[in-house]
Amino acid sequence: MPGFSYSPQAPAPAGIVINRPYVYAVSMVAAMAGFLFGFDIAVINGAILFLRQQFRLTEWQTEFAASALLIGCVGGASIAGWLSDRFGRRRILILSALLFAASSLGAALPATLDQFAAARFLGGVAIGVASVLAPLYIAEVAPPHIRGRLVSLNQMAIVTGILVAYLVNWSLSSLGPSSWRWMFASAALPSLAFFLALLFVPESPRWLAERARAAEALAILTRVGGREHAAAELAQIQEAIAAETGSFAELFRPGLRRPLMIAVVLAVLQQITGINTVLFYGSIIFKEHAGNGESSAIAANVIIGGMNFLATIVALWVIDKAGRRALLMVSSAGMAIAEISLGAAFLMHPPPSRFILAIVLFCVACFAVGLGPGVWVLLSELFPTRIRGRAMSVATISLWLACVALTFTFLSLVKAITVSGAFWVYAAMCIFTFVFVWRVTPETKGKTLEEIERFWK
C-alpha cells in the first residue's frame, strides 16, 4: 500500500478537550456554501424540462443551458485561491454569498437564453469560489482527529442542497411552464442566511498565522481546544509556514509534483465517472430513455436525492475510521458495476424503469459514500498551508473543467453511441479510478496537515 500507514482512527491527544460545539458550528456555517453549491447545481435538473419548452431548446442549447453554470465554476475556482490567500478565507466566502443571491434572482428573470446563461455563469463563479474555500476553511479550523468528518460536512451540505432542490422542483412543477423561474428564485433566501451567518465566524487561524497575526490565530485555536492545543497547533503552523516560499511555481517543485498530480487526477476522475449525468439530466434520462412521464421523472429525482443524502450520512461516520483510500476504492468499484448494469438495462425493450431507478440509486449511494466526500477531503489535506489555496484552485479548476466536458457532451454522446454506450464509457473511467487509487493514492487519515506536508519532502 503506497503512502501513509493505515492506522486506527486517531483520538484527541491526551489532555486536550476539543470544543466540539464551537468547531461544529463554525464548520456548519462554512458548509452552507456547500448547500448553495448543491442547490444551484441540481435545480437545473427539474427546471430543464420547462426551460426546454419555453425557449424551444435544441440538444446543443440544452447542454449550453446546463453548462453555463459550470463554466462560471471554472472561473470562480481559478481566482478563489489567489483571492483567499490575499484577502482571507472568510471575506471571499462572504463575496460568494452575495454572488449566490444575485445569480438566483437573475436566473429567475431572463427573457432570453443568453440572459439566463449569464445569470447562471455568475452563480457558477460563486460555486467555484465556494468549492475551493469551504473545505479549505473547515480543514484549517478542524482538529486532525475529526477533520475528515468535518470536511465531509461540506459534502453533506452539498447533497442536502441537491435534495432540497429536487423537492423544490417537485413542489413547484405544478405551477406550469413558468415554474422554472420560481425554482431558481428560491435560492435567494439561503444565500442571505449564509451571508448573515458568515458575519459571526472567525477567519482561518492558519491564514492569520501566515499574515503574522499570531495573537488572533492563537485566540481562535484556544477556543477550539484550549491553550495547550492552541500552542501546539500554532507552533506546527508557524514551522510549516517558515519552510515554504508560497509561490505558485512551488507547486511544480519535485516535492510537490506528486500531490499535485494526485489531486488533479482524482478531481478529474470524480467527474468523468459520470455521476453528474444523473444530477443534471436525470429528468431527461427518466422521461426520454426510461419511459417515465414528466411528473414521475421529477419525482424519481427526489428519491435519488434522498439516497444521496442518506449515503453521505454514512460517509460522515466512516471516513475517519475506514480512511479515505478504502472508501474511494469501494466507491469506484461499486459505480463501475452499476454503470455496466445500467447500460445493459437501457438495451431492453421496453426499458425497465423501476430496475433502472434501482441501479441509479445504487450508483449514487456508491458515489456518496466514497468519491463524493473523499476527493474533497483529500484536496483539502494534501498541500502545505502557504500554498494550499492556490493548489486547491488548480485541482478544483481541473474538476470543473472535467464537469463542463461531461455536461457539455452527455446528450451528444448519447446521440452518437446510445445511452448504453455512454454509461459503459463512464464505467471504464470508474475502473481506471479504482486502479489509480489502489496504486498511487496515499492514506491521510489521522494525520495533521503539517505531518502530511512533511511526507512530501
Residue 104 lies in a domain: yes
| Overall average pLDDT of the 303-317 stretch | 87
Mean pLDDT of the chain: 85
Q: How many domains does the chain have?
A: 1
* pLDDT at residue 16 tops 70: no
pLDDT at 244: 60
The mean pLDDT of 81-106, rounded to a whole number, is 92
Question: Does some domain include residue 229?
Answer: no
**CA-closest candidate to residue 68, choices 47, 82, 95, 94:** 47
| Range of weakest confidence among 6-15, 61-70, 344-353 | 6-15
pLDDT at 5: 29
State the burial class of residue 301 (Cβ atoms within 10 Å of its Cβ: 0-12, 13-18, 19+): buried
Smallest CA-to-CA distance from 423 within 265, 264, 285, 283 is with 285
φ, ψ dihedrals at 118, nearest 5°: -65, -45
State residue 17's pLDDT score: 67
- Reference 335, options 307, 358, 355, 364; nearest CA is 364
List, in sequence order, the alpha helices (H) in 285-323.
294-322
Q: Peptide bond preceding 350: is omega within 30 degrees of 0, i.e. cis?
A: yes
Question: CA–CA separation, 254 vs 55, rounded Å?
Answer: 52
Q: What ranges make up the beta strands (E) of 240-293?
A: none
The larger pLDDT score, comparing residue 49 to residue 449, is at: 49
82 domain-assigned: yes
* C-alpha cell belonging to residue 206: 492558519
Segment 151-158 mean pLDDT: 80
Domain assignment present for residue 215? The answer is: no
Q: How far apart (Å, rounded) are the C-alpha atoms in residues 318 and 315?
A: 5
The residue type at 358: A
Q: What is the dihedral of CA 103, 108, 112, 116, to 10 degrees?
A: 30
Question: What's the pLDDT band for 247 if we cut at 50, 70, 90?
Answer: low
Query: According to the model, what pLDDT value does residue 404 have?
Result: 87
Residue 39: the pLDDT is 93
In a domain, 224, yes or no: no
- pLDDT band at 216, cuts 50/70/90? very high
Res 298: pLDDT? 81
- pLDDT value of residue 7: 32
Q: Which residue has the higher pLDDT, 305 or 381?
A: 305
Split at pLDDT 50, 70, 90, the class of 432 is: very high
**Cα distance between residue 273 and residue 278, in whole Å:** 11
Say what the pLDDT of residue 9 is: 39
Report how far residue 240's alpha carbon sits from residue 255's, in angstroms, rounded to the nearest whole number.
14
Residue 129 reports pLDDT greater than 70: yes
Helix, strand and coil in the chain, % to nearest 5 = 85, 0, 15
Closest by CA position to 276, among listed 6, 67, 421: 67
Measure the CA–CA gap between 192 and 240, rounded to whole angstroms. 36
Does residue 8 form part of some domain? no
Query: pLDDT category, 224, cuts 50, 70, 90?
Result: confident
Quote the pTM value.
0.76
pLDDT band (50, 70, 90) for residue 291:
low
Please determine, for residue 256, whether its predicted confidence score (pLDDT) is greater than 70. yes
Report the C-alpha gap between 234 and 219 in whole angstroms.
10
Q: Tell me: pLDDT of 36 over 60.
A: yes
Task: Look up residue 293 and give its three cell numbers.
Answer: 412521464
Q: What is the structure's pLDDT at 340?
A: 96
**CA angle at 82 for the pair 76 and 85, rounded to the nearest 5°:** 125
How large is the average pLDDT for residues 107-124?
93
Q: The domain spanning residue 414 has which CATH number?
A: 1.20.1250.20
Between CA 329 and CA 333, with CA 331 as vertex, the angle to 5 degrees is 70
Rounded average pLDDT over 26-40: 91
Note whether residue 184 is domain-resident: yes
Residue 251, in any domain of the structure: yes
The arithmetic mean of pLDDT across residues 405-417, rounded, is 90
Q: Calculate what percentage of the chain has a pLDDT beyond 70.
A: 92
Between 28 and 132, the more confident residue is 28
Domain encompassing residue 275: 20-201+243-455
Q: With a cut of 80, say whether residue 289 has pLDDT above it.
A: no
